[in-house]
Amino acid sequence: MPELPEVETVKRGLKQHIVGRTIKSVDFDWPKSFPNSEYDVQSFLLGAKVLDVRRRAKVLIIDLNSDYSLICHLKMTGQLVFVGQKRFGAGHPSGSLVGKLPDKSTRVKFEFNDQTHLFFNDQRKFGWIKLVPTAQIQNVDFIKKLGPEPLEADFTVQVFADRLKRRSASPIKAVILDQTVLAGVGNIYADESLWAAQIHPATKTGKLTKAQIVKLHSEIVAVLNLSINHGGSTDKNYVDAEGNKGSYLKFAKVFRLNGSPCKRCGNVVTKIRVAGRGTHICTVCQKT
DNA sequence: CACTTGACCTGTCCGC
DNA sequence: TGCGGACAGGTCAAGT
């Protein structure tokens, strides 16, 4: 679930809360969640101060003053939640996770030197945090291969169209989910943007007209921006850096709305499988 | 090479 | 009420 808008929302919250704080200790019980060498942890993490929090695609980057950075992928169920000193007192929304952390899904605990905490929770254990030299981030294999950021100025229609050409035999949904084509779209926003552009997700990418590519390009940007403005989507697990849910799904047109009427034509939204993923469409609005 | 499928995990929901 | 199985999204490894 954490796709670009969710990770962007977490980034903004973390930036407010952890920049300037110094890491006092780190604790983890599932090595795959935090596969770092003890030497690097001792030398470059403990005692380091947080300088900045950034995002690339669905990856969070926490820069430290030790010339190292923590890079974090939330995958499906990851959460990064900051808990301040008043964690045992009042002041948190009743539904908030904050008063309940750590819990059985907590994989990594960071303590800052003022008794505040950052918890990495991840029910399904697919997410990870890695400590890497800041100067080496762009050489990390996964990051090196990422396509353009859809909300940056260099993601033009022409760039999008050129990247689609390489994948003409694949269904368009599989292509926009491919992080090496463009960075940050996941299952929710793939379905939403394809509905908005009135393109069937199984359409072979090579069959798309120029007009459809132009439309899809602008709808991807619009859907991502709309979601960021609503704090992202919470389907089940996602929360922001303060433990709060996002509300974008109130505005969703098809995602998880199978059985409901299409908001454009009234036909029933159905769920199919495309490229191995659950896919929500209106068969009237979205023709192959 | 382009493209698809299975593995990684846990929790929840559905049918018998 | 219990239990097996399908399913959930993100990415990589392995297979066609």
Q: Assess whether pLDDT exceeds 50 at residue A103.
A: yes
Exactly one of A58, A163, A167, A245 is catalytic; which is it? Answer: A58
Exactly one of A75, A87, A130, A277 is catalytic; which is it? Answer: A277
Q: Assess whether pLDDT exceeds 60 at residue A208.
A: yes
Residue A92's pLDDT is: 53
**pTM of structure:** 0.94
Least-confidence region, from A97-106, A111-120, A187-196: A97-106
3-state secondary structure string across chain A: CCCHHHHHHHHHHHHHHHCCCEEEEEEECCHHHCCCCHHHHHHHHCCCEEEEEEEECCEEEEEECCCEEEEEECCCCEEEEEECCCCCCCCCCCCCCHHHCCCCCEEEEEEECCCCEEEEEECCCCCEEEEEEHHHHHHCHHHHCCCCCCCCCCCCHHHHHHHHHCCCCCEHHHHHHCCCCCCCCCHHHHHHHHHHCCCCCCCEHHHCCHHHHHHHHHHHHHHHHHHHHCCCECCCCCCCCCCCCCEHHHHCCCCCCCCCECCCCCCECEEEEECCEEEEECCCCCCC
* Residue A3 bears catalytic tag: yes
Q: Assess whether pLDDT exceeds 90 at residue A155.
A: yes
What mean pLDDT is predicted for residues A226-241? 89
CA at A277, C1' at C5: how many angstroms apart? 18
Mean pLDDT of chain A: 91
* Residue A148 bears catalytic tag: no
Which nucleotide minimizes the distance between its C1' and the CA of A125?
A: B9
Which nucleotide minimizes the distance between its C1' and the CA of A59?
A: C10
Exactly one of A3, A6, A8, A242 is catalytic; which is it? Answer: A3
What mean pLDDT is predicted for residues A125-131? 93
Q: Who has greater pLDDT, A237 or A211?
A: A211
What mean pLDDT is predicted for residues A101-125? 93
* Residue A102 bears catalytic tag: no
Q: Assess whether pLDDT exceeds 50 at residue A87.
A: no
CA at A9, C1' at C7: how many angstroms apart? 27
C1' of nucleotide C7: residue with nearest CA: A278
Residue A94's pLDDT is: 46
